[in-house]
Structure 1
Amino acid sequence: MAFSDELTPCGVMFDVFKRSCGIKHNELAEMVLSSRPLSDGRSPKSRTSDRSWVSRFIVHAPAGSLQDRYFADYGRAATRVMSRLRTRGSKVFDPQQILDVVCGDAGQAMDAALAACHQDAHLYRNMLDRIRLSSGTTVGERAEAALVLFVAVGCSGNVGKAVAYTADYVRSMHVNLMSTPVMEKIDVSDRSSIDAWEPRLGLIRVRDGYVCSAPYWVEPMGEGVTIGALALGDCDITDVDSDVSAEHARIWRSDQDGWLVKDLGSSNGTFVIDGANRTQNELQGDAVAALHAGDELHVGNSTVFAVVEGIPERWA
């Protein structure tokens, strides 16, 4: 295996804990590596005193080369890290400080590492924001859940797997960390529209009147796509703000009726602004609305997509 200088989730995890929390690489390896023997009879955890091995095969291993069997259960590993941060070392961290490390400037390096590895950084950040903004929970519960997510994505390098694991872990805590923040509704009828291009439906994220994403293309065949903060499908759209539900709305194509959108029981609503006359249609219950080029799709309070037509290859 070649030594890698590329930005990886595992490398970021080790770097953040070292720089921000004073946990050395071999010490963190003791907490996150598995004690189960590998094929040679030795466990990954038994090798933590070998600094060269830890660096080469764990911390700086190329993306995609790490195996699940190298690591302990993510929740147990995160609990060990939490205990270490709260009881030992030159600086003892309270839960808010732990949350600040994972969710703040230091932890944002994980977003960059996921993007570099072609993982969905939006999905990771949405889950982290859902935890950070949850109401009716203690800061200790939020810090624990955030740490589990950070460790899970660092060890697995797979954001979908890490989010699913963390969601199960949170449910086992019997606390409500996964609800969508409910925002006050605003009038979206005066939003400006985006002109249509060439024939093919796509969604472009718009913020404050400016385009801020490449088009998200929806395949005309199959089941369509889900827009949501924690949507896990390969082609689902997670480029949304924190008030968007985990699975907020679905778009698909009908042979009879063309492109359609439906709200999936979201907390903050789904709206279609007609590009021709600027009328606003709020989707409620089982209501379905047509989507056409020039329309705008609003999910939640502030996430806006311009509905366009074009050829995906032009925007690759």
Structure 2
Amino acid sequence: MVTNDKTPCAVLFETLKKHGGISNKELASLVLSGRPLSDGRSPVSRVGDRTWVSRFIVHAPIGSLQERYFCDFGVSALRIVARLKSREGRALSSEDVFDLVAGEPGRSMQDVLVACHQDVTVYRNMLDRLSEKSGYTVDERSEIAMVLFVSAGCSGNVRKAIECTLDFSQSAYGRRPVTSPMASSDSAADSSQVPALSLGLLRVVDGYVVGAPYWLDSSVGAVEIGALASEEHSISSVGSDVSALHMRIWRDEEGFWFAEGLGSSNGTVLVNGASGESVVVEPPHAEREGFVSKPVAVRPGDELILAKSTKFLVIEGVPEP
């Protein structure tokens, strides 16, 4: 049960702090937008102001919390999942993350939504669909469930949360949660065969996911990214300050992915999804004196920032056939 003064956003922060070890400040840095408001400052630039975060985000009255304060809920959810899986001494598995949302820890979100006069039937139905053998991997189920949890907490609106969750599932994994067909004894064995996971890149513009994922095909060697990258499987959906051939990304023989610069003008930075630490893949040309290029490991939940205009969120999933 929740008290009358609780809001969905407060429950979101409280649950992830209590059961995931993510502080309010850290969570605010993961969900708030970097887009400037009317005063010229972005919400994420205020994460160090505990009073502002508490008053205008965590404990803001229902109806006063504006969506423009937040970045894309799918992006936020993937960042949160990455942090939960990498917490030192208390890392959560994908199953743990899913249980945090769908199990007893996440029940308080349903309670507070009911207290806010929201019909949570469809919210519960979504979790039920994800709990069944719906064709998603455990990693995908945990990520989709977290999108539902985050969007419900930030918006306080079940319908909005469902729309965001369905859009994320379609965009990231090429399908939406559906009713599981009744399996015969022969098909039961087949359902245990989990498809191989692939690494993908989601373009993020102004905090929002744009377009479908670019799934990386390890069989073709390195995938080049750049404004004039024209080889098959290359990625050219980039901003104007990205070089013609800016960087490449590939998987080694042991299955690990790496990124390396290709002599770009404006450089590339990787933001570690687990720690938030920035790692220079390649500095801008003007700052490259003495720099020795070497591959940088890339993992799901990381962000690749090419020059200043182009950001890709690294995801893991099963490409649509």
Q: TM-score, normalised by structure 2?
A: 0.54
Aligned residue in 2 for 1:21: 20
Contact 1:16 1:107 in 2 (8 A): yes
Contact 1:5 1:60 in 2 (8 A): no
Distance in 2, matches of 1:165 and 1:17, equals: 20
Aligned residue in 2 for 1:84: 83
Secondary structure in structure 1 of the residue aligned to 2:71: coil
Q: Structure 1 residue 114 and structure 2 residue 110: aligned?
A: no
Distance in 2, matches of 1:154 and 1:106, equals: 14
Aligned residue in 2 for 1:39: 38
User: Per-residue displacement from partner, 1:182-222 (whole Å, max 9, x unpaired)?
Assistant: 469xxxxxxxxxxxxxxxxxxxxxxxxxxxxxxxxxxxxxx
Aligned residue in 2 for 1:130: 129
* Structure 1, unpaired ranges of 5+: 185-316
Aligned residue in 2 for 1:171: 170
Shift, 1:134, TM fit: 3.7
Shift, 1:157, TM fit: 1.1
Distance in 1, matches of 2:160 and 2:134, equals: 25
Distance in 2, matches of 1:123 and 1:104, equals: 16
Aligned residue in 2 for 1:140: 139
Shift, 1:136, TM fit: 2.2
Distance in 1, matches of 2:94 and 2:53, equals: 28
Alignment of 1:33-72 (within 5 A): 33-72=32-71
Shift, 1:158, TM fit: 1.1
Contact 1:134 1:179 in 2 (8 A): no
Contact 1:31 1:80 in 2 (8 A): yes
Secondary structure in structure 2 of the residue aligned to 1:87: coil
Q: Structure 1 residue 155 and structure 2 residue 174: aligned?
A: no
Counterpart code for 1:171? Q
Contact 2:46 2:52 in 1 (8 A): yes
Shift, 1:53, TM fit: 1.1
Distance in 2, matches of 1:174 and 1:23, equals: 27
Aligned residue in 2 for 1:98: 97
Counterpart code for 1:125? R
User: Per-residue displacement from partner, 1:263-309 (whole Å, max 9, x unpaired)?
Assistant: xxxxxxxxxxxxxxxxxxxxxxxxxxxxxxxxxxxxxxxxxxxxxxx
Distance in 1, matches of 2:87 and 2:98, equals: 17
Distance in 2, matches of 1:180 and 1:150, equals: 20
Shift, 1:177, TM fit: 5.0
Distance in 1, matches of 2:88 and 2:56, equals: 26
- Displaced runs of 4 or more, over 4 A: none
How many percent identity over aligned positions? 52
Alignment of 1:285-304 (within 5 A): none
Secondary structure in structure 2 of the residue aligned to 1:83: helix
Shift, 1:129, TM fit: 1.4
Contact 1:119 1:159 in 2 (8 A): yes
Relative distance call for 1:176 and 1:41 in structure 2 (3 A) is closer
Secondary structure in structure 2 of the residue aligned to 1:164: helix
User: Per-residue displacement from partner, 1:229-261 (whole Å, max 9, x unpaired)?
Assistant: xxxxxxxxxxxxxxxxxxxxxxxxxxxxxxxxx
Alignment of 1:264-303 (within 5 A): none
Shift, 1:98, TM fit: 0.3
Pairwise CA RMSD: 1.7
Q: TM-score, normalised by structure 1?
A: 0.55
Distance in 2, matches of 1:108 and 1:157, equals: 15
Distance in 1, matches of 2:128 and 2:5, equals: 26
